[in-house]
Chains A and B, each alone.
Chain A
Amino acid sequence: MDPTPVVGARYMSSWWRSVQPAPKDPILGVTEAFLADPDPDKINVGVGAYRDDNGKPVVLECVREAERRIAGNSNMEYLPMGGSVNMVEETLKLAYGENSELIKDRRIAAVQALSGTGACRLLADFQKRFCPESQIYIPVPTWSNHHNIWRDAQVPQKTYHYYHPESKGLDFAAMIDDIKNAPNGSFFLLHACAHNPTGVDPTLEQWKEISHHIKVKGHFPFFDMAYQGFASGDPERDAKSIRIFLEDGHHIGIAQSYAKNMGLYGQRVGCLSVLCEDEKQAVAVKSQLQQLARPMYSNPPVHGALIVSTILGDPDLKKLWLKEVKVMADRIIGMRTALRGNLEKLGSPLSWQHITNQIGMFCYSGMTPEQVDRLTNEFHIYMTRNGRISMAGVTTGNVEYLANAIHQVTKSA
């Protein structure tokens, strides 16, 4: 054996010299900065993870109970590529309806996915492979990672009007125009409820019109539903947009996540479903979705799926879950009221009714990046620079401080 070490010019330098430092993720980078701040009054209203009124993360009671039942009993074998059949079945009921004919007729191709992100990415890869000529239309604004997902899937993206800055509501007319002007058969990304980051949702009447125009153009409606139950407190109510589309006969796709509504964030549990014409097509589509999952992670993680199916499969645990989801949603609605109330009490010259008009975890405050920077630098308040406030980070303990800070940076606006 020749012990001579190999040394050469090529060998001396790194392959990665030219790799640039990547920009920080605009959302996740906020929490990093927050954690690094030693100030005692600091507030994190950045990332959308629920906090209780003490500002603490919450593990739902139903989840704790499910975990007690699971510990020691799971054999940790590989799930099938499509994930837990049990968990997927229960998840479809939430989105499509407990007694949905579509489920009974087995028309839905569905696989367990890595939370909402993973579900969107699978759909994007699927779109690229099977509808390579199509484009995805993404609302402005949207969760920033949506752009990354379709870009990495190499699907061309366009945007459609959504948020109306002047009214801090929906730019409905422009949105309809964009739907009409998009080439037939485009893919439209819709937030089923609690739009992220604006909190602005269409009314039911508006949803009906959106559905109509999408149908006329033969577009593919893809719903990202990350907040079912979390928006109004009632999962059935939060799924109304989807049900409208189903009544209209669309063959939709849905990305569902349990990150927020079951507090399973780090477990990465979600589901991608695609409604097909019939069972045969659903079987084919599901097999193709699995072909995309296999070279990404082979099969999805079992633990989170077990938690979900344990809870949803037990009527008492499910009842407990529904109660706990309502508590979370109600607390957020309460904080919206409190924040708006405080700002009005401070005599802010601006209108803050959008705080209570908007729904879900986020409030699109309307603040500029410069104002956000001031909030961070002067008041140690952390949020994304688009002015999005995660209401889950607001508590009875910090709402006055927050309101005052917002007032300070906006009063001369």
Chain B
Amino acid sequence: MDSVFAAIVQAPEDPILGVTVAYNKDQSPIKLNLGVGAYRTEEGKPLVLNVVRKAEQLLVNDQSRVKEYLPILGLAEFNKLSAKLILGDDSPAIQENRVATAQCLSGTGSLRVGAEFLAKHYNERTIYIPQPSWGNHLKVFTMAGLSVKTYSYYDPTTRGLNFQGLLEDLGAAPAGAIVLLHACAHNPTGVDPTVEQWEQIRQLIRSKGLLPFFDSAYQGFASGSLDADAQPVRMFVADGGECFIAQSYAKNMGLYGERVGALSIVCKAADVASRVESQLKLVIRPMYSNPPLHGASIASTILKNSDLYNEWKVELKAMADRIISMRKQLFDALTAKGTPGDWSHIIKQIGMFTFTGLNRDQVAFMTKEYHIYMTSDGRISMAGLSSSTVPHLADAIHAAVTCSS
């Protein structure tokens, strides 16, 4: 009997996750995985935070815990705490019950649910995403039924922000268009607007009536401070306007595979938020009915317990500090080698990733000759580096830059 799917061709590897696949196949003892953005310790090991282990133990020892379905919108306590985390404990939007929050499957799930809601209920179908952005953004929004355009963001000549281009492109967007903003630690470039630039972006977006959709995947992970990293989002909420926020706990709580996240929609009025919440359920139910329990329970346990919360902040800062230290070490190493070019962007950029500015050929060279695995856009995950591997990477970059045609 013929299969109805006989004509199906194999899909290409996901460019980001495919890097780890290739890395795993490599037998070289000096191989280095700077691909996917998962934090590694100095020893190159994945890290489970102490607070997460503690929370796990509390949960497993609690005999009264059951595994029942969560409500469609997820764990209510988690939702409240998540909203507070990003918006601030004393946020008027929360006090006025203007925030509709749904627990979703990490950042991806939050973005997808938000996008499907927009495709269903919003009068504008176009979303503007920065150029470049996380590779999966395009797929998420397209699958949800939105049409994706880009706005200028990264300037390859400065390896910094193309601020003028950004303002022009957003200025030319049709009224009501959706704008995706990386709340902090832009992925893949690590280039963030300054506070002053954020203020100008906010004014432009509000004056044009554009709808901001924040992707917050690195709160606390970028600068080491949860509040500092939330500032751009809070600026927008402070002006009383509406916005969407996708939060992920994959990196900042190390909960990657547990898929913990939240979508918050900040509305102008409480009755609106309540109706929006009811409609979110209709998006979620035919996708997966209700979100997974375990990860959100861990996150909630940490967020609501002040000792665990404070301990978390300390561990989070330690991760951020190690990454900042890696940046410094790599910069120093390249400077010491006299590698041609200006490498100051390595220490100016922020968050897990550095957009090295290396081209596809140079990347391919580094993979082939030095067994260094990274995405072909030149993005490296600083979290994958350690003091002992920085020299190897510096050698590889130096070779790629000086030997390449």
Contact = CB atoms under 8 A, between A and B. Distances in A.
A and B together in one complex? yes
Q: How large is the interface on B (under 10, 10 to 19, 20 to 34, 35 or more residues)?
A: 35 or more
Given A81-B17, A131-B4, A284-B10, A28 B48 contact: no
B289 A115 contact: yes
Contact of B242 (A15, A74, A153, A185): A15
A266 B290 contact: yes
Residue among B11, B59, B241, B276 with max Cβ neighbours from chain A (10 Å)? B11
Interface string A290-304: 111011111111111
A259 B286 CA distance: 16
Interface in B30-66: 36, 38, 46, 48, 52-53, 56-57, 59-60, 65-66
Contact of B9 (A267, A284, A296): A284
Given A15-B122, A276-B5, A1 B196 contact: yes
Contacts of A304: 292, 294
Interface string A109-125: 00000110110010000
A151 B286 contact: yes
Interface string B96-131: 000000000110110010001000011000000000
Contact of B275 (A8, A21, A153): A21
Contacts of A206: none
Interface residues of A, number: 89
B295 A285 contact: no
A338 B292 CA distance: 35
A272 to B, nearest CB: 12
B370 to A, nearest CB: 24
B60 A67 contact: yes
Contact of A59 (B48, B67, B294): B67
Contacts of B239: 5-6
B4 A185 contact: yes
Closest 9 pairs between A and B when the two form their complex, measured CB to CB: A266-B293, A302-B257, A148-B286, A114-B288, A14-B268, A297-B105, A303-B294, A295-B139, A22-B278
Interface of A: 1-2, 5-6, 8, 10-17, 19-22, 25, 28, 47, 49, 57-59, 63, 67-68, 71-72, 74-81, 114-115, 117-118, 121, 130-131, 134, 145, 148-149, 151-153, 185, 215, 218, 220, 249-251, 259, 263-268, 274-277, 281, 283-285, 287-288, 290-292, 294-304
Given A15-B176, A78-B257, 10 more contacts: A16-B276, A49-B69, A71-B60, A79-B257, A117-B287, A118-B289, A276-B3, A298-B136, A298-B259, A302-B258
Interface of B: 1-11, 14, 17, 36, 38, 46, 48, 52-53, 56-57, 59-60, 65-72, 105-106, 108-109, 112, 116, 121-122, 136, 139-140, 142-144, 175-176, 196, 199-200, 203, 206-207, 209, 211, 239, 241-242, 250, 254-259, 265, 267-269, 272, 274-276, 278-279, 281-283, 285-295
23 contacts: A15-B242, A16-B265, A16-B275, A19-B272, A20-B275, A22-B281, A68-B60, A71-B59, A75-B48, A114-B288, A114-B289, A134-B4, A145-B286, A151-B286, A152-B287, A251-B1, A259-B69, A266-B293, A294-B139, A296-B143, A298-B136, A298-B259, A301-B259
